[in-house]
Structure 1
Amino acid sequence: MARAIWSGAISFGLVNIPVKLVTAVDRRNVRFRELRREDASRVRYRKVAAADGEEVTSDQMVKGYEIAPDRYVVLEPDELKALAPESSRAIEIEDFVELAEIEPLYYDSSYYLVPGDTAAKPYALLHTAMRESGKAAVARFVLRTKQHLAIIRPVGDALAVSTVVYHDEVIPTEQLDGLPGEDVQPTDRELAMAGQLIESMTVAWEPERYRDTHRDQLLELIERKAAGEDITAAPELEREAGDVVDLVAALEASLAASRDGGSSAESA
């Protein structure tokens, strides 16, 4: 059972709904320690000053913002504390927007909101109203001394809240180099074939279909080595990313392979 990491209330208008914040994602990264090869001794790191190599303790450290190479504006802990967002137990809803209008690039970390002990009815009311309207809520709240902009939306039977990045943190596409211009337009035939290929590869969204194959291979290798198996590294194969010389031919070949794959799967 996931533990609540924050408790407070959703607030919009005069409505107040006590909630608890629960992590929605359990990352399954394979974590390694750095060791000395000869004896597997843990490697530890010290914080040292670049000027003289002396170790620096926590009480000796301050924050510095670099304004030029090796030139810093130093901020003392008290100065930063004075600017910290006021601690609050409220998730303040500021607006409601169409959920479909939110660009996924903005999403950051996601959590579940579960109702407090006496908040089942108002929680269900908000959840149902948002689900039926297709709307999402734009809100702010403070978590671990940092203020977050967030999106609240229904996910299954729960309300989820995702922190989002601010508009000026998303790089606009106008700043990207090498995007095709108006002079690069696909032909009607190419569009039709690309549409057919997309359609032939379209399936229902089932996230359980997709596994982290690299993590699986790492864990298998770890298990085999832990069992004493002698592992010989396979030679690394390089894949060439060549130019598509004949786009139509590539689309035709892809469609043919897709049809063969589909018929094989159906016959199986």
Structure 2
Amino acid sequence: MPRSIWKGAISFGLVTIPVKLYSATEERDVSFHQVHAEDGGRIKYKRVCEKDGKEIPYSEIAKGYEAPDGRLAILEKSDFDDLPLPSTKQVEVVQFVDADEVDPTYLNKTYFLEADGPGAKPYVLLRDALSKSGKSALVKVALRNREQLALIRPKDDLLVLHTMLWPDELRDGEFAAPPADVTVSDAEVKMAQSFIDALDADFAPEQYHDDYRAALEEVVNAKLSGAPMPTEEGETEGADAAEVVDLVAALRASVDAAKKRREQAAGSGDAKTG
């Protein structure tokens, strides 16, 4: 079983759902080391200070931000740990949206959410409510010292979380659009549609495989078959469990609070226009 990378709680109105987060994907590329072609020795890189030329251990390395005017701000681990981010251990639902409203370009990485301790029942409640309403939950969460938007949606028996990019992280792709004066005929479009219809099928990802990786692995295995065995050994979480509460009562109070906020917002709007 994989190890969880984060532990916290989803704030669903007045209902708290303790959860653990697991990466839903893993890279399958063939990994290589940089080596000296003559004798196979590993290539090592040293962390050297450009000012005094000394090699610096990790314990003495900090993060530096250089301003446009040349000033340097040096931040240490404590600076990141002390940031006032409420989303560090609490995933707050800020809105519910139709999943097809979110442009896939926003989606970054996918994670599995697992109910932790007493979180099983409210977890199932949120999962089933999302499934029946056809909605996804838009949330804020802080992972690896970075606050992110995320989308929680039901998938079979699970809740999955997709981290999202911020709007200012999406590039404007207008430059890649073809010139406006380029057109195609109806006959050309119909022919293209015929080709699409010929290859139309249900999505079955298990039918597809990484042929490049398979071919590369064959080359690597062929090389290994003639390589001598090495004579030396190689180099070789969170939020406290939340108390289970009366879910119906908590949700009723959450709905009442939400209605009250809307009424107050509408009242303040009327006062401004009056």
Q: Tell me whether the two structures share a fold, i.e. TM-score over 0.5.
A: yes
- Give me the TM-score of the superposition, normalised by structure 1: 0.76
User: Contact 1:85/1:145 (CA < 8 Å) preserved in 2?
Assistant: no
Q: In 2, Cα distance between the equivalents of 1:72 and 1:62? A: 16
Per-residue CA shift, 1:87-140, capped at 9, x if unaligned?
742211110111011111111111001222333332222112212222111111
Deviations for 1:36-92, whole angstroms, at most 9, x for unmatched residues?
1222111111011234533233354343323459x3422232555544635742211
CA contact (8 A) 2:87 2:141 kept: no
Q: Deviations over 1:210-264 (max 9, x none)?
A: 21111111111111111129xxxxxxxxxxxxxxxxxxxxxxxxxxxxxxxxxxx
**Equivalent residue of 1:203, what SS?**
coil
Q: Shift of the alpha carbon at 1:12?
A: 1.8
Q: Which runs of 5+ in 1 are unaligned?
A: 230-268
Asked if the contact 2:62/2:75 (under 8 Å) is kept, the reply is: yes
What is the correspondence of 1:169-248 to structure 2 with a 5 Å cutoff?
169-174=169-174, 176-177=175-176, 179-228=177-226
Superposition pairs for residues 1-268 of structure 1, below 5 Å?
1-68=1-68, 71-77=70-76, 79-83=79-83, 85=85, 88-174=88-174, 176-177=175-176, 179-228=177-226
Q: CA RMSD in A?
A: 2.2
**Is the Cα contact below 8 Å between 1:62 and 1:74 reproduced in 2?**
no
Q: Give me the whole-angstrom Cα distance separating, in 2, the residues matched to 1:8 and 1:31.
A: 33
Once residues 102 and 42 of structure 2 are traced to their aligned partners in structure 1, the CA distance between those partners, rounded to angstroms, is: 45
> Could you tell me which residue of structure 2 aligns to residue 263 of structure 1?
none
Q: Secondary structure at the match of 2:118?
A: coil
Rounded to whole Å, the distance in 2 between the matches of 1:105 and 1:27 is: 20
**Structure with higher RCO (Cα < 8 A, 6+ apart):** 2
TM-score (norm 2): 0.75
SS of residue in 2 equivalent to 1:4: coil
Q: Which runs of 5+ in 2 are unaligned?
A: 228-274
| Aligned positions, number | 226
Letter in 1 for 2:15: V
